[in-house]
Amino acid sequence: MTGSEGNRSRLGRLWRALWRPSARHPVALLFIAGAVFGVLFWGGFNWAMEKTNTLGFCISCHEMEQTVYQEYIESTHYKNPSGVRAICSDCHVPREWGAKVVRKIKASREIYHKLIGTIATPEKFEAHRAELAERVWASMRATDSRECRNCHAYDTMQFKDQRPRAQQRHPEAIQEGKTCIDCHRGLTHRLPPRDD
């Protein structure tokens, strides 16, 4: 018997021992079952995380489809000269895994409000628009507009190619330590009515 045949024979015996129920190998069986379950769970979990980041999922609720989606399809994030499109998750869900999981956990509050009908009609949505917007803006400020910066970065901006107002304001914003949402509210979604 050659070396490779001996190795195959030993591997064959090991494989049969691991797959044959036996009182001698319960730990190996538990390990294999745990590994298979872990891979299936992890794959399913990641599939669900990514599925809930699609545009189709985001607008599957009539509340979103009838309100903010209609505003979005008229925005520069939907159609623009460069043809680059940002979808809901690009602006509202972090890319980093840990932060993404935290955001998904916080989204459970949104599911609760969906179930009780808090914003079930366009009129109810409008009644809560200011509160919803303030919550998103506060989150963006807290992360220094992290999701904006996934695509837009001060250090790669060509200020000289921007419109005159942007040429002036972007360097000022850098100097003042401002974050994107401080100036760019209402870019994709209508601003709530002001009380003043």
49 annotated among ligand-binding-site residues: no
58 annotated among ligand-binding-site residues: yes
134 annotated among ligand-binding-site residues: no
61 annotated among ligand-binding-site residues: yes
170 annotated among ligand-binding-site residues: no
50 annotated among ligand-binding-site residues: no
Say which amino acid occupies 135: R
88 annotated among ligand-binding-site residues: yes
110 annotated among ligand-binding-site residues: yes
180 annotated among ligand-binding-site residues: yes
Task: Please compute Rg for the chain using Cα positions.
Answer: 26
152 annotated among ligand-binding-site residues: yes
Helix, strand, coil proportions of the chain in percent (round to 5)?
65, 0, 35
Q: Annotated binding site, which residues?
A: 58, 61, 64, 88, 91-92, 110, 148, 151-152, 180, 183-184, 189
Q: Annotated binding site for heme, which residues?
A: 58, 61, 64, 88, 91-92, 110, 148, 151-152, 180, 183-184, 189
